[in-house]
Copies of this chain bind each other. A is one copy, B any other.
Amino acid sequence: MNSKLFTLSILLLQELLQVMKYSIEFQPDNITVTAEEGENLLSVAAAAGVYIHAYCGGDGVCGKCKVQVDQGEVFSDRTTLKKEDWDKGLRLACQATVKSDLKVTVPEKISDGRKALKRKPKTTRTISARSLETLIGTWNIDPPVTKLFLELDPPSLEDNVSDMQRVMRGFKQARPGEREPSYDHPELIHELPGVLRESDWRVTLLLLHGRGEDEPLRIIDVESGDTTARLYGLAVDIGTTTCSGVLIDLNTGKIIADASGYNAQIRFGEDVISRIIYAGRSGGLRSLQDRVVSTINTIIEDICRSIIISPADISYIMAAGNTVMSHLLLGLDPKYIRESPYVPSVSQFPLTKAAGLGIHAHPSVRLFLYPCISSYVGGDIVSGVHACQMAKSEKISLFIDIGTNGEIVVGNKDWMVCAACSAGPAFEGGGIKYGMRASNGAIENFHIHPESYDPMIVTIGRIKPSGICGSGLISIVSELLESKVIDQQGKFNRNLDCSRIREGVDGWEYVLAWQKDSQIDRDLAITETDIDNLIRAKGAVYSGCMTLLGCEDYCPKDLPHQTQIAYLRRKMAIGK
């Protein structure tokens, strides 16, 4: 189980992105980066810090992001370009995707003065959620469920053992020497006689592997015919604000679908403390559980619809959340988490039947919920630490899980310390005037022209912008600061000559997209209040990091014992 995991928000991780395919050289900046086949050229430029005029988020309508492809090939079509531009080798960066090594020149007329934008090449890579595939590439695939196809002899008067004994005999023939699996799932034995006969005694066993050597293999389902090619696992991140799911083909380890949505508990409070208080009201705990379950069910529906499978085809569910989210999913009262001495009910959650919680899954399907460390260091951080394998490394890593609750781990294979800090929802677009979830239309990357202060906007889905997601917010504030549009305190420079910087109804703001370039019915802007919220969230995480990095000298011998800092043992029991 070292390897079937996921993580959602990883900022600083070293040495993970070694699988980029093509070299992309941008001129005249003379910046070279690597990109995978099919990556969008505007996104590659944005990630590389190469400024290209782009107002429409990548929608292909503003026509500003023309670049000259000098060498190599891109996928593109010329519907948005004049034939003479096309023949010159000009392409709209937002409509072009990488097909080979490339040399790309950003036309002079829009790159005037752009030298000021050049930064020294980054030594630390930023990995977004979409780099999950890359992370998974570093794992061995060893899923908790496997399948085994059996062709059994039909019963006869000379051989009339029970149906289940026949299955067991088939198992033992297929896996000689292995211990006989158990079966404890009532539906299985109910359906077995019918499945065996309708499939003409050709069936596939779904096997659940025990955690550790103690627990034997269990047959949890018997399917008609050979279904070994279909083996899907769902990983769900249960965030206080946002829940995300990815479906993984457990035969190959590839992600085949994903979906996400706001945690429907939000209507009962934005942070874990308000949720705990709400859980104490009559029927509150049940409502909160119902909401998170319905959020997960929506994710399952979205995923299944997108690749045309049934929820019953999902064979395993793995979830991670902070300690309060984990309690609420299982319907456990989190009240003692809030009261001194801050004790959770359970930190290692039993393997649960997902359907028993109301999740739309086959009755046999188990839900593994990542163990928590303490009341404020949850399974989300454990899963992240597990996924990035920092617990296997000699080198010391800093791991930050940015969410409504920020959690930070520093350590290596020998020791780890963790801090949790209340960051608020700014990193997820919460409390931001035009904040939104990281879905289509959200500004996720941003650069600014150092003289005209014009924006380069890249949205998720490359359509006209409709809001700002968490990574977009960080990107925007970082650019505004570097270009001195705002100062260190997050206040706008009132003296700049730029119509985008103005005093709006909510105070000073920078217009990211005029109404005509956006999907909303007014100008899309970032305000000083938004920036202030981000600064405070960032400040919380920063102080968490500094507290921990201050601890490093003392580790592992002399750890400070603070309530919010838990010493994660290297051998914390995560799965097998």
- A interface list, Cβ under 8 A from B: 155-165, 179, 182-186, 189-190, 192-193, 214-216, 330-333, 335-336, 340-352, 356, 372, 374-375, 561, 563
Contact = CB atoms under 8 A, between A and B. Distances in A.
Given A160-B342, A193-B336, 7 more contacts: A157-B340, A160-B375, A160-B563, A162-B343, A162-B348, A192-B345, A193-B343
B330 A189 contact: yes
A157 to B, nearest CB: 5
B344 A163 contact: yes
Output the residue of A182, A342, A345, A349 with the most chain B CB within 10 A.
A345
Contacts of A186: 330-331, 350, 352, 356
A198 to B, nearest CB: 13
B348 A164 contact: yes
Contacts of A161: 343, 347, 374
Contacts of A335: 193
* 8 tightest Cβ-Cβ pairs between the two chains A and B: A162-B347, A160-B341, A162-B344, A164-B346, A184-B350, A157-B341, A155-B343, A189-B346
Contacts of A333: 190, 193
Contacts of A348: 162, 164-165
Contact of A563 (B157, B165, B215, B330): B157
Interface of A is mostly: loop
Contact of A164 (B216, B345, B352, B374): B345
Contacts of A342: 157, 160
Contacts of A563: 157, 160
Copies in the complex: 2
Contacts of A346: 162-164, 189, 192
A523 B346 CA distance: 69
Output the residue of A179, A186, A335 with the most chain B CB within 10 A.
A186
A565 to B, nearest CB: 12
Contact of A343 (B163, B343, B347): B163
A189 B329 CA distance: 13
Contact of A158 (B164, B215, B561): B561
Given A346-B189, A351-B184, A160 B374 contact: yes
A217 to B, nearest CB: 10
A165 B347 contact: yes
A346 B166 CA distance: 10
Contacts of A331: 186, 190
Contacts of A351: 184
Contacts of A165: 347-348
Nearest to A157: B341
Contacts of A184: 350-351
A346 B342 CA distance: 48
21 contacts: A157-B563, A160-B343, A162-B346, A162-B372, A163-B345, A165-B347, A182-B350, A183-B350, A186-B330, A186-B356, A189-B332, A189-B349, A190-B332, A190-B333, A192-B345, A193-B336, A193-B343, A193-B345, A214-B214, A214-B215, A214-B216
A411 to B, nearest CB: 20
B189 A345 contact: yes
Contacts of A155: 341, 343
A166 to B, nearest CB: 8
